[in-house]
Each structure stands twice: as C-alpha cells, then as structure tokens.
C-alpha cells in the first residue's frame, strides 16, 4: 500500500498497525516513494558476560595516577 505523506500523518496509527501485521506500507511525497514502514524485529537478546574470563583487568585499575591528575587539575601543591 502506498500512501501520501499528508494521509500518513492523519492515519499513522492505522498504518503502524498494518505494518506490524506484515502488510507493506510505503509513504510517498508527491507520488514519489520515500520510506517503507516496517515492524521492528530485534536481532537477538543481549547476552551479558560475553567477555568473561577473556580480558584481564589489573588490580590497580581504579587507582589514581599523579601524572594524569596533574594534567587535569594542574599542580595543586
């Protein structure tokens, strides 16, 4: 189904419902197709812990570094 932009503005909810149920909806401007309205299909669920045991974080990772602090805050002595 091809609808012009002005009609799409007025019937957006209906068009979204149609696209969700698998119907092809194309929005046009001056009878020139611009966009295709499609339903969102996530590729896959996110999986947490993907890099577990594959990277090594040093124990001093969160320790402050005097040289970096001097770059940000200057020498505050």
26-39 per-position pLDDT tens digit: 999 998 999 999 99
- pLDDT of res. 13: 96
- pLDDT of res. 12: 95
Q: Which residue has the tokens 């909810």?
A: 13
- pLDDT of res. 52: 87
Low-confidence ranges of the chain (pLDDT < 50): none
Among 36, 37, 35, 31, residue whose Cα is nearest residue 4 = 31
Structural tokens at position 70 = 């001097």
pTM: 0.54
């Amino acid at each position: 189904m091809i609808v012009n932009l002005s009609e799409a503005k007025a019937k957006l909810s209906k068009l979204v419902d149609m696209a969700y149920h698998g119907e092809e909806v194309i929005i046009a401007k001056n009878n020139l197709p611009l966009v295709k309205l499609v339903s969102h299909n996530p590729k896959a669920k996110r999986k947490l812990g993907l890099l577990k045991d594959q990277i090594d974080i040093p124990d001093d990772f969160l320790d402050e570094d005097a040289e970096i602090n001097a770059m940000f805050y200057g020498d505050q002595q």
